[in-house]
Chain A
């Protein structure tokens, strides 16, 4: 039996943020995740935007948390060495109908206490965004809608939590939870049984299944698929801001924005589905992105795409973000409806969960040796010549460029593998140092990354997975 004060189920953005918040206190914390890597499911396939909450439903927990979270990111990303860029969003109106909606959008922002939303004229918009559809009539500027590297964000939270004593068990799926005498007796996982005073269900897409194990599933998760295009860094038609469409009653619509690494991101669709695993892209979905985004940016060149992906946002039915605790299951926290705003609100949710428990009498004592900061893996390609030379002196493997599209060196890949909570799969390497994230999508570096992973992990190449167990990259040797 493994014992811990706090057990967190799910190492996505929310689970990791909660873990880091708990790690400020003198409690033992364990995070379990069914995946082979930290980073969750929804948290690694989204639009990578840190929202302001301007369009949230006012007076909801979601609005409260998103609005509170947004201003935290600048400092947090500095502390944790996470790529973060302040770009701002524009919301252009192209029809009279859309133009007439602007005051109500601004009013809603005001109700959400997002006071810095401003009107923009046609001229101002076209100056800010020269590739915008010239039929624009006017629009809104939402200055604090920003972009982040969502992979590194979660890695940074986890690494920092780990540095502060949080333990992680990956490839560990919760299979049952035994409730006895109004509290959780034990949590049964594929890697053994766990006893915990507090159990936080931050399982995202699977939170309803966990809730069902404790008999509290009064909702169902509805996966909402969002398909995206990523465009080449050199694409001919770019935008500088997050360009948002005016939402309709049915959908928030499809946007185009830069990523922190200089690619363009276009999407998403919003397709409700029963499956929690079907992350396939579809011709219909991708075509709808093409049609819709051309209303915003007529010259967008989707042929310069380097990849397409889809993510599943864990919506719930009935809708809305929920934080639930129960009198009849002491110490159990159920989070559900952590949907498209989940990445943004994660950091606030971490604080919210801990504070709620403190206010309910939890006896958590602050540590005096909490490590606030975390250093990321240095990107060789972004350094000055002097720093590059210094790095090369320290480690000649900086001279071995493995991924030529993103200029990722062997030294960086080795760090990705050997850091705490390091990469064990090809995709995990990619999410840490971007090897294979470029225009050739691993065509050149993929074979080398397989070889490096096998060498460093001391296994044969056929044991190297793309992501989870069973996603083996190769089947054996040409010659034994």
Chain B
């Protein structure tokens, strides 16, 4: 199987083609840099994304921006959103304070991206 993957490592957006089956990559072509090769391989096997959204402050009409501290498998993004939606936090919040640990068993934490 050949998959064309648009690289998102940098703004250039190279169109890299990856040949392989399931989790085995046979060859990578049309990459612009080494980081691109790694990205394309990972994207072929198990695409992951940084998830960013907001969490509500308990008892207040305020939102705090949050992110996953590591990329989350793409397939789990909506499930993680459900979990985050149910969560509230109390102030004060520190930068990168953990809001949810190991969200949806991904091994990834949801952390605040703002001090408040």
Contacts and interface: CB of A to CB of B under 8 A. Distances in A.
Interface string A425-444: 00000000000000000000
Contacts of B56: 479-480
Interface string A462-480: 0000000000000001111
A477 B63 CA distance: 11
Interface string B47-76: 000000011100001010000000000000
B85 interface: yes
Interface residues of B, number: 7
A478 B62 CA distance: 10
Q: Which of A477, A478, A479, A480 has the most CB of B within 10 A?
A: A479
Contacts of B85: 479
Interface residues of A, number: 4
A144 to B, nearest CB: 53
A133 B54 CA distance: 57
B109 to A, nearest CB: 19
Contacts of A478: 54, 63
A479 B61 CA distance: 9
A318 B65 CA distance: 63
Interface in B62-116: 63, 85, 88
A477 B54 CA distance: 12
A464 to B, nearest CB: 15
B10 to A, nearest CB: 31
A81 B60 CA distance: 42
Contacts of B88: 479
A222 B85 CA distance: 53
B59 to A, nearest CB: 12
Contacts of A477: 61
A478 B84 CA distance: 12
A476 to B, nearest CB: 12
A259 B106 CA distance: 61
Nearest to A480: B56
Nearest to B85: A479
A477 B57 CA distance: 13
Contacts of B61: 477
Contacts of A480: 56
A479 B62 CA distance: 9
B65 to A, nearest CB: 11
A480 B54 CA distance: 12
Contacts of B63: 478-479
Nearest to B86: A479
A477 B61 CA distance: 9
A475 to B, nearest CB: 16
A479 B54 CA distance: 8
A480 B61 CA distance: 8
Contacts of B55: 479
Contacts of A479: 54-56, 63, 85, 88
A478 B55 CA distance: 9
Interface in A56-115: none
Nearest to A477: B61
Nearest to B55: A479
A249 B55 CA distance: 65
B88 to A, nearest CB: 8
B70 to A, nearest CB: 24
Nearest to A460: B61
Nearest to A461: B61
A478 B61 CA distance: 10
Nearest to B61: A477
Nearest to B88: A479
A192 B34 CA distance: 76
A478 B85 CA distance: 9
A480 B56 CA distance: 8
A477 B56 CA distance: 10
A478 B88 CA distance: 13
Nearest to B84: A479
Nearest to B56: A479
A461 to B, nearest CB: 9
B30 to A, nearest CB: 40
B84 to A, nearest CB: 9
A477 B60 CA distance: 12
B91 to A, nearest CB: 15
B57 to A, nearest CB: 9
5 contacts: A478-B63, A479-B55, A479-B56, A479-B63, A479-B85
- The 7 tightest CB contacts between A and B, nearest first, are A479-B56, A478-B54, A479-B63, A478-B63, A479-B54, A479-B85, A479-B55
Given A477-B61, A478-B54, A479-B56, 7 more contacts: A478-B63, A479-B54, A479-B55, A479-B63, A479-B85, A479-B88, A480-B56
Interface of B: 54-56, 61, 63, 85, 88
